Amino acid sequence: MRELHLAKSAGFCYGVRRAVELAESAASSGTPCVLLGHIIHNQNVVDRLASLGLRTVESPSEVPEGCQVVIRSHGESRAVYEALQARGANILDATCPNVKRIHQIVSQAEEHGRQPVIVGTPDHPEVVAIAGWCRRPVVLSGVEDLTKWLSGDPKRRELPLTFVSQTTSTQKIWEDCVKKAKKECTNPEFFDTICGATSKRQEEAHQLAAVCDNMVVIGDRKSSNTKRLTEICREVCPSVQQIERAEELDWSRLAQAEVVGITAGASTPAWIIKEVCDKMSDEIMEIEESFADMLEQSIKTLNNGDKVTGTVVAITPTEIQVDLGTKHSGYIPVSELTDDPTAKVEDLVKVGDEVEAIVVRVNDQEGVVTLSKRRLDVDKHWEEIEAARENETVLEGVVTEDNKGGVVVSVKGIRVFVPASQTGLPRETPMSTLVKEKVRVIITEVNRARRRVVGSISRVIRAERAAAAEKVWAEIEEGKHYTGTVKSLTSYGAFVDIGGVDGMVHISELSWSRIKHPSEVVKVGDTVDVYVISFDTEKKKISLGMKDRSQDPWTVFTTTYQVGDTANVRVVKLMPFGAFAEVVPGVDGLIHISQIADHRIEKPGDVLAEGDKVDVKITDVDMENKKVSLSIRALLEEGPADEEPAEDEE
């Protein structure tokens, strides 16, 4: 044996450490106290506590009335708590906070009409306790049990199922069950309740075992998590030995190994690990110091307001569990993750991510620390907001609410008030239209002491529009095409925004057809393709066109009709001397008053009305001036072709 490596996460987890410390404190109080069941799965620890005067009993009926009783780290059922309370016992609850949380999940699931499904070893004390918080628990050891249970009654697939896991289970067992349930069940929900410390310990053991010739796993043989560690190590290491104490070491196997790794279950105390290390290495001080540093870090005290860094170990619909490397279990409620109401948790953090947060509340009794990433971010963002005010930097945010005075924009988790006059909206437009929209603002006022920030959206719009306009004027040329937005309509045309600059499309340039108003072709808000007809950089005027120049109406007319042809036309305008009619879009012909009827009329309106469609004969085409003469009279005088004479005329 030349190298010896100790896993960083070897030994007590925070839940076990808290339970043992609570028991030791009770033993030193001088008040009679008993342990209900083995406080943890380690006989050496139980024997040590017994030497301190803490007797172990197996049921509530054995607890002397009025005596203190320590609930073990695995937890107990609701019925046990009720029995102890009935005996007047003073309960010292050492249940692991992670296990306590599972009790709440399954209990609330049943209250909401859901069926709790517990994935774990059925006879394990932790699983028995979890089941004791349900009226109709389903306990499954793995995916095979789940398959059999679902096959037992097809209706079970349609039940609202709530899945939880034993804290010391492996990710593979849990993920196999989740995959199966997602595939076959119609209404499942999942809470990955495997302890983050357990997952981390298992991952470190796997990585360490992969580079070692021999692995030593220290822990009680009844300990579920120690058994899991041994199984995981055996997957990648050729030689693994599980021991409870140093005297069980197989020295013949160690002597043949170049690299030896050591890990320990969550119920293994530091003094046993050090005992094993003492036996295995001549470099005892180096190992002891390394372990001492690790131990010091694990029992570090946390206070409200402390800034901490941890690793995300689990994500649920309501909170993010964070491993802080201490005896505490860290939780970030979803509401304390971000101030962005549109953000999704899965887009912000993932298991394995390192996050910074601030301690909001410490519950040493339960070993739980409530954290806030949002509040820490807000403190950082105040500095960014102040810098943005100085530098006039444009920031992005989401409008969260509106009121009579303006709107509130969440920028980096900070409320920024934008007065109505600075929203950039027309007066008649409700400010509620901005709610939930992403906007760009410039900060105009900051008062950190009063937590007041004022901003402007319109200033950003004006600045961006000015920059866009400058670009348009720098690059504009006749014939250039733009995609624009119709901003307003008048009787004589439409104004189109082509990117910071408005140009005017005259009514005659909207369509080849004769129209009375631009609204016949476009409406405000339409996206249109336009081209530059002319522009004046000094007067800042642009004339735009929309008609397709490639489709010349005169060419269409001359290739379709010739003198003598009959055409069905639409009357578009009446004049004292005649009527203009559209032959094809963009080409009108004149029906002179003398050609409207086969008899004398006073005015065209006596026979025709605008919009009428009539048949005419094309009597003349002036190619040079592009004028067309039409006649209704010519068709009337011709009469029906091959008309037979009437009988009385013979």
Provide CB contacts within 8 A for 18, sequence distance 6+: 73, 94, 96, 327, 367
Burial pattern 611-638, b for ≥16 Cβ within 10 A else e, equals: eeebebbbbebeeeeeebbbbbbbeeee
Q: Is the dihedral of CA 391, 392, 395, 398 positive or negative?
A: positive
- Interhelix angle 196-210/224-236, rounded to 10 degrees, is 30
What angle (nearest 5°) sits at the alpha carbon of residue 380, between those of residues 378 and 381? 60
437 in active site: no
Amino acid at the residue 365: Q
Q: Give the whole-angstrom CA distance, residue 426 versus residue 403.
A: 16
The arrangement of strands across the sheet holding 33-36 comes to 55-57, 33-36, 68-71, 90-93
SS3 78: helix
Provide CB contacts within 8 A for 10, sequence distance 6+: 201, 218, 262, 263, 264, 268, 273
Q: Read off φ and ψ for residue 626, nearest 5 degrees.
A: 55, 55
**Given 24, 65, 126, 624, which residue is catalytic?**
126
Q: Give the whole-angstrom CA distance, residue 377 versus residue 319.
A: 17
Q: Give the whole-angstrom CA distance, residue 258 versus residue 52.
A: 41
Determine the distance from the C-alpha atom of residue 215 to the mean position of all C-alpha atoms in its chain, rounded to a whole number.
42
Determine the distance from the C-alpha atom of residue 27 to the mean position of all C-alpha atoms in its chain, rounded to a whole number.
49
Look up residue 84 and give its two tokens.
């102890």
Q: Give the whole-angstrom CA distance, residue 257 versus residue 234.
A: 15
SS3 309: strand
Please tell me what DSSP assigns to residue 595: G
Please tell me what DSSP assigns to residue 503: E
SS (H, E, C) 398-425: EEEEECCCEEEEEECCEEEEEEHHHCCC
- Judged by phi (left if over 0) then psi (alpha if -120 to 50, else beta), residue 471 lies in alpha
H and E: helices and strands count for the chain: 17, 32
State the pairing for strand pair 187-190/138-140. unpaired
Q: DSSP string of 507-576?
A: GGGT-SS--SSGGGT--TT-EEEEEEEEEETTTTEEEEE-S-TTS-HHHHHHHH--TT-EEEEEEEEEET
Provide CB contacts within 8 A for 522, sequence distance 6+: 486, 489, 494, 510, 528, 546
Look up residue 139 and give its two tokens.
């306990």
Residues forming the active site: 126
